[in-house]
Structure 1
């Protein structure tokens, strides 16, 4: 697979005329130096660079920059049991797609790749030309549920696994329907791999024809990467953030005419202007078997938690189809 990577805000010290005792000056200098050299101090005050300035657990609400919010879900207070993401139809990439066992707002807002579809690595698919010998079947029916974590925080949980008897990994790809078939916009999520294991990965992306914008990708035992695949087939660009999947992160993609900007925790890691898609695409939160490295062991499992997801239309043009 593919791999590679703040502005410190300085306070102005005003020098007042007149004599100051040396001890006071020394204390002032020590305080100033501490502000600059305490580990994490600069990161704590560094402003977010993305349009919504969101990096933490609090879900952003409302419009920001050139983006109009069309979807916001923090999962708090919701219970969607394991098994609810089943009977998902094959009417892909249209807002009419649904999962028959879901009800209410979740039926209206979410779809998942159906059972019987195979992930990128699976020999029955190999959609990117890889030669992996083991892959996965999309099984949101037994890998995805919504409920509180131990601390009470509402989350979407995605626990992929490989049966003890061997065979295919059970993968999961979920789709926020409010931005299906939309040209331009923004998507953000607060996410963490709460248990990593070899053989499992994410590839959250917009995809269509030769175009691909991957805004949270790589094996879960590695570091978060971004990839931009121009629509004209020119070579990809990428950024290795160096940040582990096992930490909480806010991940964002801003897609505007001629620009694709990829952010992690408010920091812009990748900006590409080459052959950026202009036609409507759908975002997929795709989680699947690894495309390189060790295969998932029989009986192994790994889990990703999402605490909020927000999505936006681009206000610069009528873009929803």
Structure 2
């Protein structure tokens, strides 16, 4: 497939800073001991990987990357049954081959469909690795970079296979941009059939935002100002019949009910060249780290 990009986004806000503040005041209430109490279904606000089912959600992914090493080069040969539940990367082995897929080398990122001077091409083999931090904490590292000669950015989009083509669910991760640079961004998303939900999204030198693009069109839901990419945050999306809710560190930052998807979609942890602001400079790089990922099916009770 020559291109793999998502629809153009408009920046008109449906729910802005005032709305987000009101939601926070109503839902992010203190517990009896004075500590913040998470508003999401699993109370996901701690730094540790949450384990087990919660409310209407049944956990199917619980990955903390501890004890694992996946070197650069292993996320390769990913063009097997792409974008289906049978997709896999031939360069991976063991549980990572079973549990993870990535957009294959050569697919173009979203910037290729925009009027951008700097665009990107997906290269999971030289952008994605897994290993311990100096503290010993396991991390998935996503290092995007632009060649010194000024060629396209090397982008990366990784996909947990257990939640590919799944209808509804809860999707959480703990993330931080440990090396920021202009020209790089994320848009972790569900999209297809004229629908799109994005969280978190934004240039890595700015703030986390969330978007909901109602199925069939209409004004987008835009939920900005949720935090700085260069700090650790726990991000969650809850997608249930007729509702999509976005959380950062247990605080609900957005909620939309307009034409929410009711068809199976995949969760794509997409990281790519920026769509706004300056493009990545030749020879530059930036890095996002993920310390855990958790995902859940919906309606198991």
Answer yes or no: same fold by TM over 0.5: yes
- Checking the alignment, whether the CA contact within 8 Å between 1:253 and 1:260 is kept in structure 2 is yes
Cα distance in structure 1, aligned partners of 2:65 and 2:29: 35
Change (3 A) 1:132 1:105: same
Q: TM-score, normalised by structure 2?
A: 0.90
Residue of 272, 279, 296 corresponding to 1:295: 279
* 1:190 partnered with 2:174: yes
Q: Displacement of 1:303 after TM fit?
A: 0.2
User: Alignment length, in residue pairs?
Assistant: 280
Residue of 26, 51, 61 corresponding to 2:51: 61
1:223 aligned counterpart, secondary structure: coil
Note the residue ranges of structure 2 that are not aligned, 5 or more in a row: 1-9, 18-24
* 1:83 partnered with 2:73: yes
Cα distance in structure 2, aligned partners of 1:305 and 1:273: 31
Note the residue ranges of structure 1 that are not aligned, 5 or more in a row: 12-40
Who wins on radius of gyration, i.e. which is larger?
1
Residue matched to 1:99: 89
Q: Displacement of 1:315 after TM fit?
A: 1.8
Residue matched to 1:15: none
Q: Displacement of 1:93 after TM fit?
A: 2.2
* 1:111 partnered with 2:95: no
Cα distance in structure 1, aligned partners of 2:143 and 2:201: 17
Residue matched to 1:132: 116
1:121 aligned counterpart, secondary structure: helix
Cα distance in structure 1, aligned partners of 2:194 and 2:117: 25
Cα distance in structure 1, aligned partners of 2:31 and 2:295: 34
* 1:310 partnered with 2:294: yes
Greater RCO structure (CA 8 Å; 6+ sep): 2
1:178 aligned counterpart, secondary structure: helix
Q: TM-score, normalised by structure 1?
A: 0.84
Cα displacement string for residues 97-134 of structure 1 (whole angstroms, at most 9, x for unaligned residues): 01001000100000000011010002xxx1xxx21122
- Checking the alignment, whether the CA contact within 8 Å between 1:56 and 1:190 is kept in structure 2 is no
- Checking the alignment, whether the CA contact within 8 Å between 2:211 and 2:223 is kept in structure 1 is yes
